[in-house]
Structure formats: C-alpha cells, structure tokens
Structure 1
Amino acid sequence: MSISQTRATRVHNRQSVRPLLEMRRIKGYEDHNAGLQVINAGLGPALVTNTVVRLDSEDIGPWNRPTQLRIKASLPVRPLVYSLRPGAVLLAGQSVFLIHLEQFREDEHGWFWDLIAQRLVIEIHYESLYGGENFKAIPPAV
C-alpha cells in the first residue's frame, strides 16, 4: 500500500509543477501589435531544450540570432524577436512574443501576417524541472 501511495505522490508532485506552453498568433486591433506569442499556461517553469524553425516547410535551424537574421533579411520591415535558446526558462504565467511587429496595420503589413500564419513554424521542445518529458509546443493550425 505504501509503495502505491509513494508512486501516487510522485505523480502528483510532477503534475503540480508541469509547464504547458501554448503558442498563439496575435493580431491586436487596439494596441496594433501582431505576432507569434508563447505563453506558459502551466503550473511550473518550462525549461527549453531545443527549438526547430521551418520557413516555407524548410528546416532552417534553431530559433537563435543567425536564424532570425536570415528570416528578417528578406522582410520589408524588421520585426522584433525574442530568442529561446536551450536552457532558457519560461516561468509559470510568463508570455513573450517570439516575433512581433509593433504598429501593425493590415493594409500595410499583410506580408507579416502571412509570414506568421502560413510560412513560419517555430517548434519549442521543453521539459519541467524534473526533466525527461520532451514536451513540444507548436503554433496552432490556421
């Protein structure tokens, strides 16, 4: 009986600190920001283990400065970016824009919405403080 209780306690402890990363495409009409946002909606911190970036279905590397510069080089306006390197931590409740454009106006910046909705996929691999789970967050299908 005590072995099963110990196992149940371990499972409960792991669940009580489980992170849950969600990605959202934001098109803000009031604040005029648009971008790809990641939110830790879980109860514990998320430890990033890896990122994979695909542009037009081609793997182009991790979400780091060289990859970001490659993406931004072909754009008419440089969006702001936030890097998630292995070892980065997203705290419970924290949200960040991975890529976003301030003063977004649909008539001028439709290319940006096309980029984040159709062409760019950022996949985040992460785990809890316990480690070894290999959770994954990807943007929702359009």
Structure 2
Amino acid sequence: MSATMIALASLWVSFTESRNIRSHNRQSVRPLLQIRRVLNFEGTRTGIQLVNAGLGPAIVTRSVVQVDGEVIGEWDLRTYRQLTRGRSVHPKVSTLQPGVPVLSGQVVHLLFLDDFDQRDHAWFWALVSERLMVEIFYESMYGGENFRAVLIPPWETPS
C-alpha cells in the first residue's frame, strides 16, 4: 500500500513540475507589442511606431484601423490609400499581414514622415495623434493567446 502511495505522489510531483516548466517556457518567450506615436523620433521621423518589447516573436493575427471612430479596415495598403487620399505628401508605410512575425526588440515604423515640418504636415500629426485608432492582435509562437496592442486617440478610454 505504501509503495502505491509513494508512486502516486511521485507521479503527481512529476506532473506538477512538468506543467510548471511548460508554463515557464511559454512565459519566457512572451511577446509584448506596444504601439506609440513619435514626434521627430531620432531628429526627423514622425508617425506611428510598433515595438516588440517582449522576449519572443509576436505573430500578427489581425489588425483593425479606425478613423474618427469608424472602422476602415486592416493595416494594409488599401487602408493606407484611404488615409492618404488627396494628399500631396504621402507618408511611408509598413503594412502588417496575418502571420507576419515581429521579432523581439524589433521596431517597425507603421506610418511615418521623414523631415516632418509642423506647418506643412499638420494634417498628418492631427491624423496620428487625434483621429487614428490602431489595434493589433497577436500571439506568441505557441499560439492561442490572442494578445492585443492598441493605439487610441487621447480622448478615448482604454477598454
């Protein structure tokens, strides 16, 4: 009887330790995406920047872009064209497609102008800082977590 109890206790300890190791391994490669506005970043670049401040790659699953509270699409070329339609100056863009990894420590400039001039590009800063909301959904390499990074206008409250 005591041999059976010792075997069951050993099995329980082994199972618990294995589960804790798996949990630790998942946490040790957890991505952490942050979206932020930058004004004259490194002296010239102004726009929206995506940073993976976590320990592992972030796999983008989808994105949602809103302007003035209205959903206009995902962070792709179609949405970019809507945002810049009718403008003489076109910001540079990096799109995000589902399945794209953002590596640990990687900085992606999603939408930006080099040599930003407050007078000539006031429309751009108003778009970036007041009108645009960007949500990026992502996972770790393990999958299934449905993490979310969001850039909201200053008048919005985070949900």
TM over 0.5: yes
Contact kept? 2:47, 2:111, Cα under 8 Å: yes
Give the equivalent residue in structure 2 for 1:75: 87
SS at match of 2:121: helix
Give the equivalent residue in structure 1 for 2:133: 121
The percentage of counterpart residues that share the same residue type is 47
Give the equivalent residue in structure 2 for 1:52: 64
The residue correspondences of 1:1-142 to structure 2 (distance < 5 A) are: 1-28=13-40, 31-139=43-151, 142=154
Question: C-alpha separation between the residues in 2 aligned to 1:48 and 1:20?
Answer: 12
Contact kept? 2:132, 2:153, Cα under 8 Å: no
* CA deviation profile, 1:45-93 (whole Å, cap 9, x unmatched): 0000001010111001111111111111143421111000101110000
Q: Which runs of 5+ in 1 are unaligned?
A: none
* CA deviation profile, 1:7-29 (whole Å, cap 9, x unmatched): 11011000111100011100016
Calculate the TM-score normalised by the size of structure 2. 0.85
Question: C-alpha separation between the residues in 2 aligned to 1:47 and 1:29?
Answer: 26
Question: C-alpha separation between the residues in 2 aligned to 1:60 and 1:69?
Answer: 11
Cα distance, 1:114 vs structure 2: 0.8
Question: C-alpha separation between the residues in 2 aligned to 1:2 and 1:30?
Answer: 51
| Dislocated runs of 4+, deviation >3 Å | none
Classify 1:30/1:47 alpha carbon distance in 2 versus 1 (closer, same or farther; 3 Å): closer
Count matched residues: 142
Question: C-alpha separation between the residues in 2 aligned to 1:19 and 1:29?
Answer: 23
Classify 1:70/1:21 alpha carbon distance in 2 versus 1 (closer, same or farther; 3 Å): same
Question: C-alpha separation between the residues in 2 aligned to 1:26 and 1:8?
Answer: 39
- RMSD over equivalenced CA pairs, Å: 1.3
SS at match of 2:151: coil
Q: Which has the larger radius of gyration?
A: 2
SS at match of 1:108: coil
Higher relative contact order (Cα pairs below 8 Å, separated by 6+ residues): 1
Q: Which runs of 5+ in 2 are unaligned?
A: 1-12, 155-159
